[in-house]
Structure 1
Amino acid sequence: MTLQARPLRLSTADAGFEAAFQARLHWSADTDAQVEQAVTDILAAVRARGDEAVLEYTRRFDRLDAASMESLQLAPAQLKAAFEQLPAAQRLALETAAERVRSYHEAQMQASGQSWSYRDAEGTLLGQKVTPLDRVGIYVPGGKAAYPSSVLMNAIPAQVAGVAEIVMVVPTPGGEKNPLVLAAAHVAGVHRVFTIGGAQAVGALAYGTDAVPRVDKITGPGNAYVASAKRRVFGLVGIDMIAGPSEILVLADGSTPADWVAMDLFSQAEHDELAQSILLCPDGAFLERVQQEIDRLLPQMPRAEIITRSLNGRGALILTRDMAEACAISNRIAPEHLEIASQEPHRWEPLLRHAGAIFLGGYTSESLGDYCAGPNHVLPTSSTARFSSPLGVYDFQKRSSLIEVSEAGAQTLGRIASTLAHGEGLQAHARAAEMRLKP
């Protein structure tokens, strides 16, 4: 059977555009009740029985008949061996990507990751102390595909931030270990690796077991079970975000080759059938050329069925009145990945307020950001770019306020605090300030 990918064609000039546009954007983040119940049971078992429960679920879900947790922890020498056994081209690519990711996050650290303080006119010191988290857990998917890039993007900013211990969990169904993932852990400086996955791995990281240390924060993508587990343990530990399906939005003025744009739409559609790929363009003829390239290129893609389902179910080619209107619609969508496929990307970038990552110009494919450009590829999805940011060193740090009040400062601040505390009916607060006042 010949596959046909037909993204929905819309025009902002049509009377029914708004309703059709909203329907195409809609995606329910509600997880199936069975997933929720299964995750509840798994987390309860891990909390109550620790390693025993983790081993039980690993046998059931990953088909690994491990006798002990020790057999599921990988030694640093195994990670190093995996790296050394890679083909030279893969070793170079991994090291180069890691260095670019590290350089970007070191620059981020210098810009925003330092403690600071100052003294006011009365000698009172005020400031902020920035300290890294003690221990973090990173979840790396390992079922349908392997993601060494996720190792780099989660572990390197944690390392740059100064986290003392990075614990990685990765499922290895049937015992099959991906050498590129293990090599990435070696290159990124991961301290401990356990070959466990699913909700049980999240539970082990959140609660701690005899073998798996309890962490302060869990980052990294996963399936519905992993997302549900992260949602449930939030508060006991920190999490990065609850990620939805992958998204790409391309703003095109018609100057970028149509086959490049079609392939960029494919780059997200191939993730899964719920991924969303949208093209906004004021040139109707260009939209038609992109559709022709979709038809031509689709049969060449190994994941053509997934791409077809994604584009037919959630994709759209939208004709806009002009590029300014395209930018306004993009702000409403707040996409995970936003490409400006234009000869004048810096003309339109100031109009764009909401996006996880912005890719400027025709040569900047989203896939470069996924692997090796340097900025983090862990990005907000499902319109959460309206209020959240990419993963960064700041996610692996915490900030403590610094206050050192001088004797002179206590006279000024004490009277202010006393007045406000009495107004709130908190007399002990007021007395504590008043005791430091000079007669």
Structure 2
Amino acid sequence: MPSVEAAPEDAGETELTETGLIRQIDLRGRELSTAQLRAVVPRAEPGAAADAEDTVRRVLSRVEQEGWPAVLELTAAFDRIKLENPRVPAAALQEALRTLDPTVRRALETSIERAQKVARAQRPDTVSVEVAPGATVTLRWEPLLRVGLYVPGGLAVYPSSVIMNVVPALAAGVGSMVLVSPPQKEWGGLPHPTILAAAALLGVEEVYSLGGAQAIAALAYGLEAEGECQALEPVDLITGPGNRFVATAKRLLRGRVGIDAEAGPTEIAILADDQAPAAYVAADLLSQAEHDPLAGSVLVTSSPELAAGVRQALEGQLAATKNAERARQALAGQQSAIVLVDDLEQGLAVVNAYAAEHLEVMTDDAAILAGRVTSAGAIFIGPSSPVSLGDYCAGSNHVLPTGGTAAFASGLGVHTFLKAIQEIQYDEAALAEVAGSIIALADAEGLPAHGEAVAVRLQ
């Protein structure tokens, strides 16, 4: 993707603010097509995943050919932890739950309860249509037999991702599931205890201390029992976000196994007018920036006054936040910006072209404007619906399409863990009614045996 600076004739002037914290893109007075908008909206340069591809290919090949010895060796090399058996003992899961801070446990239970309410309502019904007398087509939904759930363990701890992956899988009726999360030195080679506690709360019993591309390979290929390591059965689908090595491994294994998406760095876009509180907007931009130096934080506004207020608020809030350096890098990166537009109509065109993972609408008549958004992973409407709500306790799912893929992809949900099966049943009279059409179309396509397969039944 060309940089904003490389296309000033399309995008207008692009300038850094006085502080240099977050740049500003001025699109006022410009009529841009969707293609032009996609070329100039803030987004990280592609290539990080491509840089990882050679390494990931070698990892996948070794795991496929060598099994557990390769997985253990790669874990020692990448995670700096030597494991004899990565399977998390049942006792460790229960101990993590027993020692979990009661306040955190209550918070996890609240998140689970709300996510379950939404997930149960998402289960689609079987649909049967009588297209003619004696002729029916039925669409029924079957859960996948076995799924693998990846929970990151890098710059932050994500027990919420356990909930977001496990709850819809359970609601879909998945037969069995295995959860993997990177081993942590400070926890004796186990995943973080809060992740284990969340798994225990949800009844997940098969958990492995595995991360990175080797974990994805193990889930996709399956592993024969060897030494202290028992057999790991392959899965039909792998879900959950991870770093660029995880994302690349999922992409390379797509087809061998199903995947939810090739997740990239998190991102937030906020469409706001002069009614939006600058402190709220700044806090929400910062909440995503603290995830990762590559996280994208984008404000689209028709108010220069709000833009100035947000820049000022960001400086103050950044100075007081825990992950200040990480957030500063994200805000200063080319994937983040304040975009000035003529009005909310132009702003709507910008956010639809951007297709954000998370989109907040903080405007007058926010619900009406949100209803006109056609591309976003999740939309948070009004000043009391921050993205953080969706991350934890809204009931929605926070595993969402990134990098503009919300233009064609959806977030994780019960549907992710289901497959649709068509059932076709015609009686003799119903088949005879369309026999002529079938034979005519078969002949037109140069496939006469298709027609003959019908004709033989009518003789």
In 1, distance between residues paired with 2:376 and 2:298? Answer: 14
Q: CA deviation at 1:15?
A: 6.5
Matched position secondary structure for 2:376: coil
Q: Is the 8 A contact 1:266 1:307 kept in 2?
A: yes
Q: Which residue of 2 aligns with 1:52?
A: 69
Q: Which residue of 1 aligns with 2:79?
A: 62
1:207 has 2:227 as partner: no
Q: Which residue of 1 aligns with 2:141?
A: 130
In 2, distance between residues paired with 1:235 and 1:153? Answer: 24
**Matched pairs, number:** 430
In 2, distance between residues paired with 1:107 and 1:246? Answer: 27
Moved more, 134-143 or 250-259: 250-259
Q: Is the 8 A contact 1:246 1:268 kept in 2?
A: yes
1:238-277 alignment to 2 at 5 Å?
238-277=258-297
Moved more, 57-66 or 139-148: 57-66
1:220 equivalent among 231, 240, 265: 240
Matched position secondary structure for 1:336: strand
Change (3 A) 1:20 1:154: closer
Q: Which residue of 2 aligns with 1:395?
A: 416
Q: Which residue of 2 aligns with 1:324?
A: 345
Q: CA deviation at 1:246?
A: 1.1
TM-score (norm 1): 0.93
C-alpha offsets along residues 353-390 of structure 1, whole Å, 9 cap, x if unaligned?
A: 11110000001111110111011111111111111111
Q: CA deviation at 1:422?
A: 2.1
1:139-154 alignment to 2 at 5 Å?
139-154=150-165
Q: Which residue of 2 aligns with 1:182?
A: 196
2:117 equivalent among 90, 98, 103: 103
Q: Which residue of 1 aligns with 2:253?
A: 233
In 1, distance between residues paired with 2:395 and 2:90? Answer: 25
Q: Is the 8 A contact 1:170 1:195 kept in 2?
A: yes
Q: CA deviation at 1:156?
A: 0.9
2:44 equivalent among 27, 31, 49: 27
Q: CA deviation at 1:157?
A: 0.5
Change (3 A) 1:97 1:15: closer
In 2, distance between residues paired with 1:16 and 1:394? Answer: 38
1:369 equivalent among 364, 371, 390: 390
Change (3 A) 1:4 1:182: farther
2:57 equivalent among 16, 25, 40: 40
C-alpha offsets along residues 84-125 of structure 1, whole Å, 9 cap, x if unaligned?
A: 21121111101110111111111111xxx2222133432112
* Amino acid corresponding to residue 118 of structure 2 in structure 1: Y
Q: Which residue of 2 aligns with 1:308?
A: 328
Change (3 A) 1:103 1:130: same
Matched position secondary structure for 1:137: strand
Q: Which residue of 2 aligns with 1:413?
A: 434
In 1, distance between residues paired with 2:97 and 2:236? Answer: 28
1:93 has 2:107 as partner: yes
1:74 has 2:88 as partner: yes
Q: CA deviation at 1:4?
A: 5.2
Q: Which residue of 2 aligns with 1:170?
A: 181
In 2, distance between residues paired with 1:434 and 1:186? Answer: 59
Q: Percent identity?
A: 41
Q: Which residue of 2 aligns with 1:346?
A: 367
Moved more, 200-209 or 30-39: 30-39
Q: CA deviation at 1:34?
A: 5.3
Q: Is the 8 A contact 1:155 1:189 kept in 2?
A: no
Change (3 A) 1:375 1:20: closer
2:377 equivalent among 351, 356, 359: 356
In 2, distance between residues paired with 1:237 and 1:395? Answer: 13
In 1, distance between residues paired with 2:300 and 2:45? Answer: 23
In 2, distance between residues paired with 1:218 and 1:394? Answer: 14
In 1, distance between residues paired with 2:369 and 2:200? Answer: 40
In 1, distance between residues paired with 2:287 and 2:208? Answer: 30
In 2, distance between residues paired with 1:421 and 1:296? Answer: 71
Matched position secondary structure for 1:136: strand
Change (3 A) 1:48 1:391: same
Q: Is the 8 A contact 1:29 1:244 kept in 2?
A: no
Matched position secondary structure for 1:81: helix
Q: Is the 8 A contact 1:280 1:319 kept in 2?
A: yes
Unaligned 5+ segments in structure 1 are: none
Q: Which residue of 2 aligns with 1:285?
A: 305
In 2, distance between residues paired with 1:184 and 1:160? Answer: 17
Q: CA deviation at 1:184?
A: 1.0
Q: Is the 8 A contact 2:352 2:375 kept in 1?
A: yes
In 1, distance between residues paired with 2:218 and 2:351? Answer: 39
2:22 equivalent among 1, 4, 7: 7
Q: CA deviation at 1:289?
A: 1.2
Q: Is the 8 A contact 1:5 1:309 kept in 2?
A: no
Q: CA deviation at 1:206?
A: 0.5
Matched position secondary structure for 1:351: coil
* Amino acid corresponding to residue 331 of structure 1 in structure 2: N
